[in-house]
Structure 1
Amino acid sequence: MTYWIPEEPCMLPSNASHQVGVGGFVINDKNEVLVVQEKHFTPSLSGLWKIPTGFIHESEEIFTGIVREVQEETGIDTEFVEVMAFRHVHDVAFQKSDLFFVCLLRPLSKQIMVDDLEIQDAKWMPLVEFVEQPLIQEDDMFKKIIDIFIARLGKRYCGLSVHQLVSKFDDKLSTLYFNTVDDPNLNCQAS
């Protein structure tokens, strides 16, 4: 409950307008992708092996949130590499807009320990097998994300790296994600 004192339109937002989600591509040295099957899913997604996903907590950074989500769901410790792409869609859960960041992560451990509250199963799947899943092949957006991921593995695409800076506007430490490649003719090098 609020009351705007000035005799003009209220400038207070009604409530949160967006939710922020993350998904993590974790690929090991055998060219296998860390994938999960959700415990609770719509029937149309039955049998789908997907990348670990989740929501960012309040006051949590994207790069720490995706590392946390992957660890919670699979037990795999990872290191954030970069944001490869993000999606913005409107009118999803609770009529909110959704920002979803697709991130590349480097595995720091190998042993999977499934979170049985959310996840039915998890495994390391060969990249070729992951890409060939019918549900992935039928989805235009996910096929594009796979194209970006494969281009990144081939060092033909550079994502957005994390840089923490203080701004004079608010004197707070901010996280800025940007591409650090100066020469567009250079192949992107893994960090």
Structure 2
Amino acid sequence: MSDRPGWRQLSELLGLGPWPPVDLEMDFDQYVLACVLSRALEEIDAGEATATEATGLTQAELRDILNDSFPAPTSHAFRLEEVCDVEPGLEEELLRDLLLAHARAGDSASVRFAKIIARRALRHDHLWRELGLFDRVELTRLLATHFPTLAAGNTNNMRWKRYLYRKLCEAEGFSLCTAPTCRECKDLESCFCPEEGENVRVEAK
């Protein structure tokens, strides 16, 4: 776990030194949070977003995560004292509601990831990259863990962001796609082809 890009990068950015060994099965959620927070730090340092804008979480939620889940006080790096909570726009709220409808009952972590995923899905790159994950497989695991019924419906291995928006259209009773079937669609490869360059960000680091 500790050699994964998001995990390692967060440690380096915060000057925490080597992270202790982590049980991948027990701490996958913490690993994903580290990846998301590393992306948030990139945007904060670039002046592109605040911590709440980058994650979709409230100041209080971020403070709790940093205090409870990481090995040293790190809130100063995220400048939480300077940020305000940001209300989601309509598109983000619809995505969040879709995820929450399939979240594990009574699981606060699933609620938190619904907010994070809905916010990061508004970015332009592949969703797994915008979450700072190593590859698409990790995103599949995250969705299957916290939104099992939603993830189970992606039987044709559609790209996850496309799939979420497809489900959103279905729930709202309309479709942005005019093709009668996927096989007849001229954009078939955009939805189903392998996501090229999966390790480009990794190698760049």
The structure with the largest helix share of the pair is: 2
Fold match by TM threshold 0.5: no
Larger relative CO (CA 8 A, sep 6+): 1 or 2?
1
Which structure's CA Rg is the greater one? 1
TM-score (normalised: structure 2)? 0.28
